[in-house]
Structures are given as structure tokens and as C-alpha cells.
Amino acid sequence: MGRQPCCDKSGLKKGPWTAEEDKKLINFILTNGHCCWRAIPKLAGLLRCGKSCRLRWTNYLRPDLKRGLLSEDEEKMVIDLHAKLGNRWSKIASCLPGRTDNEIKNHWNTHIKKKLRKMGIDPQTHKPLDIVDEGQREEERQADGLRIGGGDSSTKSREEGIGMKIQSFWIDDYPMILPEEMAVNTPCTTASVSSSSASSSSSMNSAKLDANLYSFLEWPESTPSWELDDLLSLDLLWEDPLVDYGGSLLGQDAWSFSL
DNA sequence: AAACCGGTCAACCGCGGCCGT
DNA sequence: TACGGCCGCGGTTGACCGGTT
């Protein structure tokens, strides 16, 4: 029976989102919530399929998203959870508030995989790689201060549950992050400190929202789910004309919603 | 200065699962 | 139980960027 396409693709726009489209989507969802993704494009006046809208919202426009690179602690959590859950990115993401599955998946493929391989760990199995000569690896271990091997600790840790497994990381490999340092990992400060993806690629897409997008908001410690009322209460902030968002959006009154 | 190349990441695609009928 | 619609997930693609030659 062949699967039907998620929507009628004829006449629908694809590719990068424009600021105007973002504005329409945010405005609609903040006002109405997202009851049915399939209906949203039409109701919001967008020439996109519902799927594209959902993706744009969940991966980029959601107000509770953190921006910028994953912190060391978050990275450790991802590795740990991956050892336990495998490539279930959405499950992993659900344990990291403000992070999306797409973001974590990308970070895994571009950063963590390499890091693990460099450490002599197979990113898929989380077991030591055997392809490297053991003696040579021993030298690398001494040089790098790694502690790979010595009984399959990664496997062992996998059986100990997430909370315990945190302890199985080679702390020496990662600079420790103190709780107070974690606290500065807000979208605002992350973006300002990091010279990474968020800022470096800001010119990639004219519609791309800078990591400073929500920098003017004060984020609660954890925002697992925002009610519409919570978001609506932010309208004064959205309209603050004094905030420099570092992008072109403000100049277009993109955030002056009439809620 | 231009061409090339590898890295990065937003966005797309298609499948699987859930749920209502 | 079977079917169809919708959503969410994971894999993949492709545009863009910075570094190198």
C-alpha cells in the first residue's frame, strides 16, 4: 500500500527558514499552542508542511532551548546515556533539558565520536578499540593520562545505572565543571563565551536566529515544559526595543508580537 | 587570490509506532 | 482486527564556513 506523503508537497517551500516564517510560526504557536502540526502551516499562513514546522519549532524556535555547544557535563551525560540507550537521541535529549535530539545527534557525530576514538573507545560499543596495537596504546595512555582497559569498565558501568555510571568517566579526561560554572551555561552566556557553532555559523542562514535570541530572558533552572501562559507572560520582554539581538530580526520588528 | 577540502549543523526524508475509527 | 492518519525518531543530505594548498 505505499505510504502517503506527510503532506501535499506541491507549492510548499523547502530549505532554510526565513525570519518572516519564523515570526509567523512563533507568533502562532505562542498564541494558539501546537494542537495539530498538520494544520499549523495553513493556520499560520506558512507554505511549509507540518513536519517542517514541528522540526523548526522543536529544534530551533522553542523558547526553552539552550544554545551553544554542550557543556562538559552535558557531554559526559550524552556519552553515558548513549552507552545505555544507544542511538535513541530523543531519549537522550529528554535527559538534557533545553537540548534537542538533533543537536545531540549532531554533536555526537561531529565531536564526541572523534573524542572517544581518540581515547581508544569504540563510540558504538563504548568498549576499548582493539585495532590499535596494545603496546602502542599503552604509550598513548601514559602520554594522555587515560585509563582505558583494565576490565571492561564501560560495560560494567553500563550495568550500574545512569547515576552510578557518571562515576565511570575518566574524569582526568575532562576538566571538572563546578556547579556554579554550570549555572552560567545559559543561552546568553554560552553564546557570548563560545566561538563555536552558534556564532560561527550565524551567517549561514539569513533566517538563523543568533544564540542571543533569547538572551534577554531569564531562564529558570529547568524548564521542562512551558505552558502557554508562561510564554505569554513574556510579551513585555519580547517587545523590548532596547535589546540588541545581534541579528537583523529586531530591525524588522520580528519580535513585536501582538499577543 | 582562487581552488580545494573537511567540518559543521539545519533541514529533509522515510519509516515505525501510536491512536482513533 | 484492520485500516488510515498523525507524530516522533533516526539517518542522511546539502549548504555554508574556515582552513589549507
Beta bridge partners of A128: A121
Q: How far apart are CA A115 and CA A163, in angstroms?
A: 22
Q: Is 70 exceeded by the pLDDT of residue A83?
A: yes
Q: What is the pLDDT of residues A113-122, one digit of tens each?
A: 888 887 888 8
Range among A22-31, A124-133, A187-196 rated most confident: A22-31
Closest nucleotide relative to residue A207's CA, C1' based: B10
Give the three-class secondary structure for A121.
strand
Residue A233, class by beta-carbon neighbours within 10 Å (0-12 exposed, 13-18 middle, 19+ buried)? exposed
pLDDT for position A8:
52
Query: What is the CB neighbour count within 10 angstroms for residue A23?
Result: 21
Residues at the strand B interface (Cβ < 7 Å): A 3, 5-6, 9, 13-17, 48, 51-52, 55-56, 59-60, 69, 102-103, 105-107, 109-111, 114, 196-198, 201, 204-205, 207-208
pLDDT-based confidence at residue A10 (cuts at 50, 70, 90): low
Region A201-224 average pLDDT = 38
Closest nucleotide relative to residue A58's CA, C1' based: C8
Q: How far apart are CA A258 and CA A184, in angstroms?
A: 31
Q: What is the pLDDT of residues A133-156, one digit of tens each?
A: 444 444 344 433 333 333 333 333
* Contacts of residue A215, Cβ cutoff 8 Å, sequence gap at least 6: A186, A187, A188, A191, A192, A243, A245
Q: What is the pLDDT of residues A30-39, one digit of tens each?
A: 888 777 888 8
Residue A101 CB lies within 7 Å of the nucleic strand C: yes
The larger pLDDT score, comparing residue A178 to residue A69, is at A69
Which bases of chain C are under 7 A from a protein CB atom?
4-12, 15-18
Phi then psi dihedrals of residue A128, to 5 deg: -60, 140
pLDDT-based confidence at residue A128 (cuts at 50, 70, 90): confident
pLDDT for position A9:
56
The larger pLDDT score, comparing residue A44 to residue A146, is at A44
Contact A127, A148 (CB under 8 A): no
Q: What predicted TM-score, i.e. pTM, was given to this entire model?
A: 0.61
DSSP string of A239-254?
Answer: T-TT---SSSTGGGTT
- Helix spans in chain A (H): 19-32, 40-44, 50-56, 72-85, 89-94, 101-107, 113-118, 134-144, 153-158, 161-165, 179-182, 187-193, 197-200, 228-232, 235-238
Q: Is 50 exceeded by the pLDDT of residue A95?
A: yes
Residue A5 CB lies within 7 Å of the nucleic strand C: no
Phi then psi dihedrals of residue A121, to 5 deg: -115, 135
- Give the cell for residue A254: 520580528
Contact A29, A54 (CB under 8 A): no
The larger pLDDT score, comparing residue A149 to residue A9, is at A9
pLDDT for position A118:
79
| % of chain A beyond a pLDDT of 90 | 0
Note the CA–C1' distance, A39 to B4, in angstroms.
Answer: 45
Residue A80, class by beta-carbon neighbours within 10 Å (0-12 exposed, 13-18 middle, 19+ buried)? buried
Q: Which of A117, A102, A104, A101 is nearest to A76 (CA)?
A: A104
For chain A, how many helices (H) and strands (E)?
15, 0
